[in-house]
């Protein structure tokens, strides 16, 4: 079996599962946020439920519109807060909260081999540590809060083998944008995307999170990477040694295998209005921008901020551009302060926001007006994603975003040296 099939078999009490099979599986963690959580709670109460299956295994993270931007968003968070107090579930208050998909691994709540569901499509992020992790609707989240179970169809698996040496300024964001560009936004529809190969084996955890985070942008049910020494190091060797056996069998059946030579991949930029519109950054000439966003559950971790700071150090953001930096969690925020990154950002003319999804979904703290253009380290650039339906969003890695902020138009980091 593949690693995905093994995890699902372990959670439904069967020795073996096959693609297309329907199962009812035990969940290790149920996640909801300030948009999806209130809907799940409404469903929970509508059917008259009086208890939850396990307080420790339910996590509510108000991250999309927080700090609350208006009365409606405050009421949504209040629903989560009251539910958490009533049933004793995990709830992250302002001052402790972060963007959910960066926060949960940081808190040690997501582990290899787990089955994790979240009422947010980018729950697939946790596949980076070797978990089966997928997004569900709020109704499924409500049912899981009560029963501790979820029903699933076993996905077939596409194996992506990455080999070769990465070029400068190329990381996990570029690998996944390039991959989505090749297979399309429905190229892995309800499939498992298994990322492997010599390049992945040396890829830092933050880049792995980025790749699995955007598996959903190819339509995938989940993205996953086998746990290895880099994974164990991330958890500071606190994991059970049995985790080392959590990998696909040599005779596992794949729907297809795609091999990718990363030495041919340059920094990628995805043009509006699909993540699959990926091209080398050099293909974009004279694309002027109004806004840059560096953050999100895709690229708001410390290593991402460091990459941006290296580009911005000693330089100024273009006078026609606003550059917004959003650390993904409170811990990352503090680390960035301690390492002097905020000094670099502020001296460059950036504005720094608290941990929030904010502009990624056109929520707040960086919404685009009609005709405006942004380049962002976020994961989606659909029509109206970051604001007005006649605005434009380009997706890129932190270095390209930072360089573009300086030049005032999309560019390769080498261009601003």
3-14+22-262 and 268-411, same CATH topology: yes
**What is the predicted pLDDT for the residue at 378?**
98
Sorted by sequence, the CB contacts under 8 Å of residue 148 that are 6+ apart come out as 26, 27, 53, 54, 57
Q: How far is CA 287 from the centre of its chain?
A: 26
What burial class does residue 242 get, using C-beta atoms within 10 Å of its C-beta: 0-12 exposed, 13-18 middle, 19+ buried? exposed
237 — pLDDT class (breaks 50, 70, 90): low
**What is the predicted pLDDT for the residue at 241?**
53
The interaxial angle of helices 172-183 and 205-213, nearest 10 deg, is 30
Which tens digits make up the pLDDT trace of 210-231? Answer: 999 999 999 999 999 999 999 9
Which tens digits make up the pLDDT trace of 264-289? Answer: 999 999 999 999 999 999 999 999 99
**What is the predicted pLDDT for the residue at 345?**
98
**What is the predicted pLDDT for the residue at 417?**
76
Residue 245, pLDDT > 70, answer: no
**CATH architecture of the domain covering 268-411:** 2-Layer Sandwich (3.30)
User: For residues 327 and 308, is the Cβ–Cβ distance under 8 A?
Assistant: no
User: Smallest Cα–Cα separation from 257: which of 157, 159, 155, 156?
Assistant: 159
Give the domain ranges of the chain. Answer: 3-14+22-262, 268-411
**What is the predicted pLDDT for the residue at 154?**
98
- Which DSSP letter does residue 32 get? E
User: Smallest Cα–Cα separation from 371: which of 274, 278, 288, 284?
Assistant: 288
235 — pLDDT class (breaks 50, 70, 90): confident
Q: How far apart are CA 382 and CA 392, in angstroms?
A: 8
Domain 3-14+22-262, CATH: 3.30.499.10
pTM of the model: 0.96
To the nearest whole percent, how much of the chain has pLDDT over 70? 98
| Bridge pairing between strands 192-196 and 322-325 | unpaired
Which tens digits make up the pLDDT trace of 67-99? Answer: 999 999 999 999 999 999 999 999 999 999 999
Mean residue pLDDT across the chain:
96
Tell me how crowded residue 243 is: count the other CB atoms within 10 A of its CB: 18
Which tens digits make up the pLDDT trace of 330-387? Answer: 999 999 999 999 999 999 999 999 999 999 999 999 999 999 999 999 999 999 999 9
User: Smallest Cα–Cα separation from 112: which of 239, 293, 287?
Assistant: 239
């Amino acid at each position: 079996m593949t690693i995905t099939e093994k995890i699902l078999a372990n959670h439904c009490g069967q020795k073996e599962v096959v693609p297309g099979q329907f199962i009812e599986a035990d969940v290790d963690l149920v996640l909801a946020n300030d948009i999806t959580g209130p809907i799940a709670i409404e469903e929970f109460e509508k059917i008259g439920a009086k208890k939850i299956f396990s307080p420790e295994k339910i996590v509510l993270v108000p991250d999309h519109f927080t700090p609350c931007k208006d009365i409606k968003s405050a009421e949504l968070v209040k629903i989560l807060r009251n539910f958490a107090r009533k049933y004793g579930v995990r709830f992250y208050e302002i001052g402790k909260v972060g963007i959910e998909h960066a926060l949960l691994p940081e808190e040690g709540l997501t582990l290899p081999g787990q089955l994790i569901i979240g009422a947010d499509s980018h729950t697939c992020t946790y596949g980076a540590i070797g978990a089966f992790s997928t997004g569900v609707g709020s109704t499924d989240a409500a049912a899981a809060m009560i029963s501790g179970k979820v029903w699933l169809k076993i996905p077939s698996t596409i194996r992506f083998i990455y080999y070769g040496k990465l070029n400068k300024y190329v990381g996990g964001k570029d690998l996944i944008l390039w991959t989505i560009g090749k297979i399309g936004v429905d190229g892995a529809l309800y499939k498992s995307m298994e990322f492997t190969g010599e390049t992945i084996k040396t890829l830092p955890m933050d880049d792995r999170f980025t790749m699995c985070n955007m598996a959903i942008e190819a339509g995938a049910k989940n993205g996953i990477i086998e746990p290895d020494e880099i994974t164990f190091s991330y958890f500071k060797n606190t994991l059970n040694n049995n985790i080392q056996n959590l990998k696909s069998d040599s005779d596992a059946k794949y729907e297809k295998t795609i091999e990718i030579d990363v030495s041919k991949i340059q920094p990628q930029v995805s043009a509006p209005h699909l993540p699959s519109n990926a091209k080398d950054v050099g293909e974009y000439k004279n694309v002027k921008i109004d806004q840059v966003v560096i953050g999100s559950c895709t690229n708001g971790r410390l290593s991402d901020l460091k990459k941006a700071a290296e580009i911005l150090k000693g330089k100024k953001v273009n006078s026609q551009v606003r550059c917004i930096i959003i650390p993904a969690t409170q811990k990352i925020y503090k680390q960035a302060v301690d390492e002097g990154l905020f000094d670099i950002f502020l001296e460059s003319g950036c504005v720094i926001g608290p941990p929030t999804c904010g502009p990624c979904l056109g929520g707040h703290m960086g919404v685009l007006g009609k005709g405006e253009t942004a380049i962002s380290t976020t994961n989606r650039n659909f029509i109206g994603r970051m604001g007005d339906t006649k605005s434009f969003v380009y997706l890129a890695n932190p270095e390209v975003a930072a360089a573009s902020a300086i030049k005032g138009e999309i560019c390769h980091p080498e261009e601003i040296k």
